[in-house]
């Protein structure tokens, strides 16, 4: 376990053992924990000095979202670490949910539609409303991260592999679209953030995870992220299933393309 954890966080971890680790948004270490004979899964989040307020920000987001959507519960927290208890279920991208791809994709689409229909409260009130995550805000964060060298060694994917971070940011600014429709958005949506519970053909949404980038935004941010995830996990042939279940008859290809480029930095 990481050094310097507070007493409440250590007590919440108890005799749980780490079984996996990844680096999440804002350089946060996300360590999956399993109790000996317990469910649900617990996750330990540990902040990085480069983003000292990232864990606290996620805690605030979960407190606000938790009254509206099925999300992880904060069990214990300190300024730089938190233990979260996940709802019962496995990610829609897990092998157990690849048996019936159409069902998993359909449930993920319905989860995203549920997110986008969430009442954002008063966005001008940081205590009762969703944060502002419109393009100008996101691009300012991205530009600061690029200037700090955080993407210097980053491998961009697909058609963007031949470009450097500075050029891609220029492309994002040059092609920046209007945002005529805003909704409460997830900000990092994908099949791995949707928890499903039940047998493959009967699996239902039990939770949605990873809320560090949530806020008011163009819904196409999440739609582009979701489309990338569906193609990566199941293939492009499942995209019509996703958009049909979401309720979008004619997706805008230009917006999907733009936000696919934005997703390289999310």
pLDDT digits (tens, 9 = 90+) for 165-205: 999 999 999 999 999 999 999 999 999 999 999 987 889 99
One domain, residues 68 and 188: no
One domain, residues 55 and 168: no
CATH number of 75's domain: 3.30.200.20
At 56 the pLDDT is 87
CA dist list (Å): 216 to 21, 122, 181, 182, 195: 29, 11, 10, 6, 23
Nearest Cα to Cα of residue 63 among 121, 132, 1, 4: 121
User: In the structure encoding, which two tokens stand for residue 117, read together?
Assistant: 């229909």
Distance CA 1, CA 64 (A): 29
One domain, residues 205 and 232: yes
CB atoms within 10 A of CB 107: 23
Pick the last residue of a domain from 38, 62, 85. Answer: 85
One domain, residues 37 and 64: yes
**pLDDT at position 157 over 90:** no
One domain, residues 54 and 113: no
Answer for the pair 259, 171: CB distance below 8 angstroms, yes or no.
Answer: no
**SS3 call for 215:** strand
CB-based burial, 226-239: b 16+ in 10 Å, e otherwise: bbbbbeebbeeebb
One domain, residues 23 and 52: yes
Q: Please state the pTM of the whole predicted model.
A: 0.91
- Give the number of domains in the chain: 2
Pick the last residue of a domain from 34, 66, 85. Answer: 85
**pLDDT at position 112 over 90:** yes
In a domain, 1, yes or no: no
Pick the last residue of a domain from 85, 106, 141. Answer: 85
One domain, residues 68 and 117: no
β-bridge pairing 29-34 and 42-46: antiparallel
One domain, residues 126 and 230: yes
**pLDDT at position 119 over 80:** yes
Give residue 203's domain range: 90-263
CATH number of 237's domain: 3.90.1200.10
At 128 the pLDDT is 58
One domain, residues 36 and 134: no
Give the angle 28-32-33 at the CA atoms, nearest 5°.
130
At 37 the pLDDT is 61
């Amino acid at each position: 376990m990481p050094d310097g954890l507070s007493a409440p966080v250590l007590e919440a971890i108890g005799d749980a053992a780490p079984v996996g680790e990844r680096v999440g948004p804002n350089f946060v270490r996300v360590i999956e924990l399993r109790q000996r004979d317990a469910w649900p899964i617990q996750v330990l989040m540990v902040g990085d000095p480069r983003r000292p307020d990232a864990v606290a920000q996620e805690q605030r987001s979960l407190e606000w979202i938790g009254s509206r959507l099925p999300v992880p519960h904060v069990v214990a927290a300190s300024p730089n670490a938190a233990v979260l208890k996940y709802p019962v279920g496995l990610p829609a991208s897990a092998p157990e949910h690849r048996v019936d791809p159409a069902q998993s994709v359909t449930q993920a689409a319905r989860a995203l539609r549920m997110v986008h229909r969430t009442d954002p409260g008063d966005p001008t009130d940081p205590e009762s409303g969703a944060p502002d995550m419109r393009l100008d805000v996101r691009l300012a964060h991205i530009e600061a991260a690029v200037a700090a060298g955080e993407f210097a060694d980053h491998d961009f994917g697909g058609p963007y592999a031949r470009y450097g971070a500075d050029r891609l940011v220029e492309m994002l600014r040059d092609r920046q679209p209007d945002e005529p429709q805003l909704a409460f958005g997830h900000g990092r949506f994908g099949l791995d953030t949707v928890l499903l519970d039940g047998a493959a053909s009967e699996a239902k949404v039990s939770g949605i995870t990873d809320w560090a980038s949530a806020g008011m935004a163009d819904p196409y941010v999440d739609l582009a992220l979701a489309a990338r995830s569906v193609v990566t996990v199941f293939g492009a042939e499942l995209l019509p299933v996703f958009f049909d279940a979401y309720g979008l008859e004619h997706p805008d290809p230009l917006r999907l393309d733009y936000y696919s480029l934005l997703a390289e930095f999310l």
